[in-house]
Amino acid sequence: MNEIHPWKNLGPNDARRVNSSGRFDFFWVVLEANAPGLMLKLRDLPDPLPSIPKLRNLVASFRKMETGGAFVLGLKELSQVEVFETLCRDVVSAGESGSDLDDALARTIQRTRRWHHLLRGGAVSGLSVEEQRGLVGELSFLRELVNALGPETAIEAWTGPTRTSKDFEFIGTCIEIKTRRAAAKPYVAISSADQLTDVDGCRLFLRVINVASAVLHEGQSLHDHVSITAAMFRETDRAYEVWEEAISATGYESDNHYDGRRWQLGTIKNYEVLEGFPRISGPIPQGVNNIGYSVSLDVCSDFATDDDLVEIIKKGLSQ
């Protein structure tokens, strides 16, 4: 390892603060096999743990510490130490802009994900058709929230891109967005055990949006949906910065070819996830991972609601 780098003279049990005047506890550390690393010290490990990207030449992980927890980035390929230092300093810069430690962690993970996408050269074929459909649905609800709550409140609540358990999180209310083809069988796919689990002190809703697509020249492409949404944040610097981080974390890239497919929003149905709702919930046995399942919408009919989700969100925020 070149001695000009910040890991100089650090041992496995040492840590050197990245910025002595920084607001959060970022440290240069040396990990297993003498690998250079970056650590963000946390009060405790998040529960549930946020999803983090699987990186080809890097290791990203959460670790339990004697006093709390930590998010750690480590370099596996030592020949790339200079690039890794640049990455780490950029990640720290993003984290330091957070409003509190939880926000700093979210921004750290978002920026790590952005680097991951950059270093792998971006997705060659871009988002899959189903990923595009899901993004169109989330963007439609995000625009609704901007109109009702303002850009900053709306974009801060959009947690889906960070792969947290819910797509939108507010004080008192959480919303999971699912999209489907109108002619598809009446099921929605639940990709993890956390998506429909209860959150203490919150009402939980499932919004199902019919989103049609066709390879046409007329109508709105994914680029159009992203552009329309982006315009709603441009006048607010803070909100636009968060928007850019979030849309990048989805895997969307403006250079990918999405112009040939058009997307049309259809009917919307809201369900409140209450006791008896068809779902996998409760403690998951240790060692059981990557749970995915489908929910029949026919069985959910008793949980359908005509209540305005935006008004419910506003009520939760005011309490």
Q: Are residues 260 and 188 in the same domain?
A: yes
Signed CA dihedral, 291, 106, 52, 127: sign only: positive
What is the pLDDT at residue 287? 75
Domain ranges, residue 285: 129-318
Judged against a pLDDT cut of 90, whether residue 57 lies above it is answered with: no
Where among 57, 85, 119 does a domain terminate?
119
Torsion of CA 53, 57, 61, 66, to 10 degrees: -160
Q: Are residues 104 and 141 in the same domain?
A: no
Where among 88, 119, 150 does a domain terminate?
119
Judged against a pLDDT cut of 80, whether residue 255 lies above it is answered with: no
Tell me what the pLDDT averaged over the chain comes to: 88
Helix (H, G, I), strand (E, B) or coil at 262: strand
Q: How far apart are CA 49 and CA 103, in angstroms?
A: 14
Whether the CB-CB separation of 108 and 88 falls below 8 Å is answered with: no
Q: What is the mean pLDDT of residues 192-209?
A: 92
Residue 5 lies in a domain: no
CB environment 139-157: b (16+ within 10 A), e (fewer): bbbbbebbeebebebbbbb
What is the pLDDT at residue 29? 95
Asked which of 42-56, 147-161, 196-210 is least confident by mean pLDDT, the reply is 42-56
What is the pLDDT at residue 124? 47
Give 3-state DSSP helix, strand, coil % of the chain, rounded to 5: 35, 25, 40
* Model pTM score: 0.66
Tokens of 46: 């998040």
Phi-psi region of 94 (alpha: psi -120 to 50; beta: other; left: phi over 0): alpha
| Most confident among 60-64, 241-245, 255-259, 293-297 (mean pLDDT) | 293-297
What is the pLDDT at residue 127? 85
What is the pLDDT at residue 293? 93
Q: Each residue of 14-27: pLDDT tens digit? A: 899 999 899 999 99
Q: How far apart are CA 52 and CA 68, in angstroms?
A: 19
| Most confident among 195-199, 212-216, 310-314 (mean pLDDT) | 310-314
Closest CA to 208 of 248, 168, 162, 268: 268
Q: Are residues 165 and 259 in the same domain?
A: yes
Q: What is the mean pLDDT of residues 110-129?
A: 71
Q: Are residues 60 and 142 in the same domain?
A: no
Whether the CB-CB separation of 294 and 190 falls below 8 Å is answered with: yes
Q: Are residues 303 and 255 in the same domain?
A: yes
What is the pLDDT at residue 148? 97
